[in-house]
Structure 1
């Protein structure tokens, strides 16, 4: 058996960052920015009001002052009304501040309060004197034109996209999203809605992998199920690798007489099959297709698929997409129960946890067939190979899945 890290290192060495592309902001959520974004404009663009109220000359706006309202300035207006002594302009939040004004009196600091009508009032009485520059957001207060708004390498979330739009851009250069095909193998597989006959089971791995790939930010190009037929698998692989950056295969990677994935890909010099020192997920294969697409050959049992995806596939895809943080967060919890571990293999066990403890998600342990444990699992406990048994109260490392 080879250590987990050895298999992982080989995969990450091949998982080179994908090319960049320019996409609309609406399509950039979750992607990694490839080039820094520089603001085209000052933010704010102009002096504007931070409150609904009245633009005034502060010298005229002492407490108790009676001011004549001579103009109305809504948001989006290009008006710049002149203000003489004892005059004010009603103004809405975001509207440009008249050049003659140097403060905003909020609605609630007048005798009329927050009651508002379509037409501005004729007069107001100031009930609280404004401070100098009160409630004015000055031009370039946030940032001047030419300022770097978002740095390259940033994962784009809602706030970053909003900042980019405010900086005057509607497209961004990003690292391209990985395109990944999913192939489930096995003559025993039938559609989930079918009634399985003797020896048949519902096919669930493609559902698991498709959802996990999308959650990791990948674009699923193909979802295919093939029987244990070498010619059929070769045909499907040719199609899948032609337009994909990676292909994830489940099943047929072990040493059985009908392990079709190993039979088809094993003879290729570019693909290696190994026993990795982990439970579940010992049989693993990895390599590259003639097209350059990465080939992940995972075991067929659902828990093994889930574990293998998190340990190997997801980090590789995130590296290809330009993410700096390719791994799930790790936390330490106290074991809330005792459980056995496999000799000389790292155990990756579905668990539930809270602020203090973690315990197995299934009473059945870490068997690769215990797919029901995945429905409740919040993380994977990762137990080193030299630990013979986890006792209640021991410290355990947990990979957080959400």
Structure 2
């Protein structure tokens, strides 16, 4: 059974997840500046304009199978084999009644033929081919434009180029593509207790894991990540860094310093240097979360607990970055509905993002929370394959309850 380890009472001053996301996305303006890139350097970039097929794909009828191309009107009678057609080396000549040609997958089908019979349904006797099943007109032929018609939009503007989209552009003969420039995202961590990885810790110190998590998350999205390092709890240094980043970056992210402790300066500085929309959330983990603007940059002040940093990034920062990058909607992660394999402990009041794993069940996939749900234990996040999204009004859930699930990883 998953046990919640934090107070889960509702704070009337805090934003709900839905309210916060609406505000954040409403303030996120897509990029407009673009650049041209060679196709093989455009992975993860966002198309600046529609990509249209200049000619149909495929441009000629071709065989979907290895076999024999023939006229279906001749029926099931044996045919005389008069030639061959290979991909890149089409058969030249006509195919008369009573004749057929040997044809390979992808090869052009002669104009005289309207059917391809797979070789598994044939028997060859010298130059004569016999058929072991009935011939069906039009079988196993890929028609002109089956994939894309001429002038059809192959990929719309706002498409983020994953491997399959790169392949589509290559199939169109595109060597260079116009994409939106990379979104510039600056980030830094705050806290006197933080030390660089690889060093030796003294009493009370911890390694700065949040900056490395944020760098990885930003790179996964395809952003230009600008690492501003880790800063001590010094209002002057933090303020100067905020001003500089607000003048040069599109988005600025900090981790730590947004709660109500004596050394938490981010929310106060944000109010004096820019504007703040909100700084509290009715969610768990991640109650202290500031959103606003400094200079030209949208600002996210994420909580310092490492799990809270990652959860709030996935739920709020990533959708905003996708919109600002120019990606097409939807910007939020899709959800599945799966039964929970174990009971879940929860107090009403805050939307809960419990870290979970997918498990095989008697009727398909089910989900269960990982053992540790504390927001300071990063190994629980590392073990997770998904989030269980449990609404604010929900209390304890018995095993078998259907819950919303967000998968953390795609296939590529």
Shorter-chain TM-score: which interval?
A: 0.7 to 0.9
Looking at structure 2, the residues matched to 294 and 36 of structure 1 have their Cα atoms a distance apart, in angstroms, of 28
Preserved CA contact (<8 Å) 1:335 1:391: no
Looking at structure 1, the residues matched to 163 and 350 of structure 2 have their Cα atoms a distance apart, in angstroms, of 42
Structure 1 residues 139, 301: CA separation in 2 closer, same or farther (over 3 Å shift)? closer
Q: 1:340-351, aligned counterparts within 5 Å? A: 340-341=346-347, 344-351=349-356
Preserved CA contact (<8 Å) 1:266 1:272: no
Looking at structure 2, the residues matched to 34 and 153 of structure 1 have their Cα atoms a distance apart, in angstroms, of 6
Preserved CA contact (<8 Å) 2:72 2:115: yes
Q: 1:87-166, aligned counterparts within 5 Å? A: 89-99=101-111, 104=116, 107-108=119-120, 111-112=123-124, 124-128=127-131, 131-132=136-137, 135-152=140-157, 154=159, 156-166=161-171
- 1:77 alignment partner in structure 2: 89
TM-score (structure 1 length as normaliser) = 0.78
Highest RCO, 1 vs 2 (Cα 8 Å, sep ≥ 6): 2
TM-score (structure 2 length as normaliser) = 0.77
* Match among 265, 268, 278 for residue 273 of structure 2: 268
Q: Unaligned 5+ residue runs, structure 1?
A: 114-122
Q: Does 1:38 align with 2:52?
A: yes
Q: Does 1:279 align with 2:291?
A: no
Preserved CA contact (<8 Å) 1:47 1:96: yes
* Match among 285, 289, 299 for residue 295 of structure 1: 299
Looking at structure 1, the residues matched to 135 and 368 of structure 2 have their Cα atoms a distance apart, in angstroms, of 60
Preserved CA contact (<8 Å) 1:40 1:168: no
- 1:390 alignment partner in structure 2: 396
Structure 1 residues 108, 352: CA separation in 2 closer, same or farther (over 3 Å shift)? closer
Task: State the 1:360 CA deviation.
Answer: 3.9
CA deviation profile, 1:292-329 (whole Å, cap 9, x unmatched): 11111111111221222123212211222333122223
Q: Does 1:187 align with 2:192?
A: yes
Q: 1:367-378, aligned counterparts within 5 Å? A: 367-378=374-385
Q: Matched residue of 1:284: which SS?
A: strand
Kindly report the root-mean-square deviation, in angstroms, between the aligned alpha carbons of the 2 structures: 3.7
User: Larger Cα Rg: Structure 1 or Structure 2?
Assistant: 1
Looking at structure 2, the residues matched to 171 and 150 of structure 1 have their Cα atoms a distance apart, in angstroms, of 14
Looking at structure 2, the residues matched to 383 and 59 of structure 1 have their Cα atoms a distance apart, in angstroms, of 63
Looking at structure 2, the residues matched to 344 and 275 of structure 1 have their Cα atoms a distance apart, in angstroms, of 14
- Name segments (4+ residues, structure 1) moved above 6 Å: 57-62, 84-87
Q: 1:37-56, aligned counterparts within 5 Å? A: 37-55=51-69
Preserved CA contact (<8 Å) 1:56 1:103: yes
